[in-house]
Amino acid sequence: MTERRQAVEIDFDRATKVYPGRRQPAVDALSLSIPAAEICCLVGPSGGGKTTAMRLVNRLVELTSGDVRVGGRSVRSLDPVELRRGIGYVIQQVGLFPHMTVAENVAMVPRLLGWSRRTIAARVDELLDLVDLPAADYRSRYATQLSGGERQRVGLARALAADPPVLLMDEPFGALDPITRARLQRALLDLHAQVPKTIVFVTHDIDEAVLLGDRIAILQEGGVLAQYDEPDALLARPANEFVARFVGADRGLRRLSLRRLADVELEPGADGGPGLDEGTTLRDALSAMLAEGSDSVTVLRDGEPAGSVSLVSITSLLGEEM
């Protein structure tokens, strides 16, 4: 129904923000490029400048110096209102209008854009289905009749309404319980696979960043970029002491969550230990072995034993380059 707009690249080019009356920059000469249709996680301590950096993209914060380009065009050269129409924005407190139904909330931007009633209705249903809220069940509910996780899904649908090529998400799942949070992380990855957008995702949770990010940017106090890398490289080779401390002593374990049983060479024989699907992460496999006191797992492919992986082979990966 709606034609898909191409995802675009985002370039920070020595982007700097000094808030009025402050001496230290909140974001200091930040340079990084986010390729089109990738998810970039901005991670760092509270006050590290993550929200500021993100808001430079949609000009909710104005640059002091340097530039940010979206699809090759400087945000300085674009009208802020126009610019924001191409950028979905999702925050922790979704800010749904309580006196409006779910459908009316999601339809907000299309209505501002003057779409026809019929196009809007079809788009709302499509979006609710996309975020796994069956339209028939949800379109007429009010925000107060939704759980926290459902509200966050509606916020995401609303941000996607006009099919923006860019999505900014500022700790969107921060207030959710761990199970709901994990579900929404999965939903976001599924959605991203279906509808590729360039996503800037702020989180202070390195595990969330490792799970979601194609790349991770770690910001240090004062808005200084400490490292920008793919998750595996970041965990394997922290650029400095700050990053090493931030990613934690158990960064080896975190790297195991990036690998699945299907990625390692199987040992023949399938009589040892619990059976796990080949899609299981090595971290979960290790956890299963420790929980069951077993020194190997049987790897299942389509439900059939395909070989095994031993505890020794997994722990040896912890100490070396994978």
Near ligand ADP by CB under 6 A: residue from 52, 58, 152, 220: 52
Phi then psi for residue 146, to 5 deg, are -120, 150
Distances (CA, A) of 188 to 88, 182, 302: 14, 10, 25
Cβ closest to ligand ADP, residue 51 vs residue 185: 51
User: Whats the size of the chain, residue-wise?
Assistant: 322
Segment lying near ligand ADP (by CB under 6 A), choices 30-38, 45-53, 78-86, 209-217: 45-53
304: part of which helix (H) or strand (E)? strand 304-310
Residue 47 interacts with, from ligand ADP, Mg ion, none (CB under 5-8 Å by kind): ligand ADP
Residue 231 interacts with, from Mg ion, ligand ADP, none (CB under 5-8 Å by kind): none
- Give least dist CB 172 to ligand ADP, A: 13
Packing angle, helices 117-130 and 148-160, rounded to 10:
130
- Give least dist CB 319 to Mg ion, A: 36
Contact string 169-208 vs ligand ADP (x = CB under 6 A): ----------------------------------------
- Give least dist CB 30 to Mg ion, A: 15
Find the binding residues for ligand ADP in span 2-41 (CB under 6 A).
Answer: 19, 22, 26
The structure tokens listed for 172 are: 């969107």
Find out whether 235 and 210 touch, Cβ atoms under 8 Å.
Answer: yes
Q: What is the rounded distance in angstroms from the CA atom of residue 179 to the CA atom of residue 182?
A: 5
152: part of which helix (H) or strand (E)? helix 148-160
Please list the helix, strand and coil fractions of the chain in percent, rounded to the nearest 5, in that order.
40, 25, 35
- Give least dist CB 45 to Mg ion, A: 10
Instruction: Tell me if 203 contacts Mg ion by CB under 5 A.
Output: no
Give the chain's radius of gyration (CA, Å).
Answer: 22
Written as one letter, the residue type at 292 is: E
Burial of 49 (0-12, 13-18, 19+ CB in 10 A): buried
Segment lying near ligand ADP (by CB under 6 A), choices 44-52, 136-144, 263-271, 291-299: 44-52
Contact string 15-54 vs Mg ion (x = CB under 5 A): ------------------------------------x---
- Give least dist CB 208 to ligand ADP, A: 14
Near ligand ADP by CB under 6 A: residue from 15, 39, 40, 49: 49
Contact string 51-90 vs Mg ion (x = CB under 5 A): x---------------------------------------
Q: Within a 10 A sphere around the Cβ of 106, how many other Cβ atoms?
A: 30
User: What is the b/e burial string over 107-136, where b = at least 16 CB atoms within 10 angstroms of the residue's CB?
Assistant: bbbbeeeebeeeebbebbbebbebbbbebe
Find out whether 253 and 281 touch, Cβ atoms under 8 Å.
Answer: no
Residue 102 interacts with, from Mg ion, ligand ADP, none (CB under 5-8 Å by kind): none
Find out whether 54 and 202 touch, Cβ atoms under 8 Å.
Answer: yes
Residue 48 interacts with, from Mg ion, ligand ADP, none (CB under 5-8 Å by kind): ligand ADP
Question: What's the gap between Cα 193 and its chain centre?
Answer: 12
- Give least dist CB 243 to ligand ADP, A: 16
Instruction: Give the residues lining the site for Mg ion (CB under 5 A).
Output: 51
**Binding positions for ligand ADP, rule: CB under 6 A:** 19, 22, 26, 44, 46-52
